[in-house]
Amino acid sequence: MVNSSSHTYSKSNIDVVKINTSNKINLKRFAQNGQIQIYQSSYRGSYPFIIRDSLRNAAIGRKVLLIQFMKGGVKQGVENAVKLCGNLTWVRSSHSFDQYNFEEIENNKNFKKSIHESTIELWNFCKKEIKSGENDQIILDEIFLAIEMKIIDKDDLISTLENRFISGDVILTGTDIPKDLLLMANQITELRS
């Protein structure tokens, strides 16, 4: 049941009809605090919905940075980022462990060094972006694998997250997540097969 009533106001009661605009109130808009979200899984390659959501966020006008640490691409890297939907910047390492046979990497020290250097270059780019506040959302895909492989220092990640520009969301994905980082998270999602 819906109740409705109509009120008629007399024109003689001008205070009710007229809105007083002489006392404007200055409202200040506060920036929403960004969250740290962690998505963990027991196996790699289980996060296609994060890429889907990043495309959706970019399409509605949010500025999104998607970094894939352990996935490489031909002629990719920081200088060759892919731009999608006008608001999504997608960056992969210029050399990665996914592109090559693991034994081939282990047996070639120069090759291994170039993979580590390209991952470090990507991490340095990420640190600058996290602190800049220019993105509404930053996704660090498989960053925990880079930590596990001792390419990125866990304490460096923690320090960067503590000193981030507070309004943007940071999403971290991977397996074997250090407890220190789990304690920092606003949201933890565990994906099961």
Q: Is the pTM of this model over 0.85?
A: no
Q: What pLDDT band is residue 19 in, cutting at 50, 70 and 90?
A: very low
Overall size of the chain counted in residues: 193
> What's the domain count of the chain?
1
List the domain range (segments joined by +) for residue 134. Answer: 34-191
Nearest C-alpha neighbor of 72 from the set 96, 100, 49:
96
CB burial readout 142-175, b (16+ within 10 A) else e:
bbbbbbbeebbeeeebeebbeebbeebbbbbbbe
CATH number assigned to the domain comprising residue 98: 3.40.50.300
Indicate whether 125 belongs to any domain. Answer: yes
Q: Which of 45-59, 86-100, 130-144 shows the highest mean pLDDT? A: 130-144
Beta bridge partners, 189, equal 39
Indicate whether 145 belongs to any domain. Answer: yes
Which of residues 190 and 98 earns the better pLDDT score? 190
Helix (H) or strand (E) holding 124: helix 109-132
Indicate whether 187 belongs to any domain. Answer: yes
pLDDT over 50 (residue 136)? yes
Q: What pLDDT band is residue 149 in, cutting at 50, 70 and 90?
A: confident
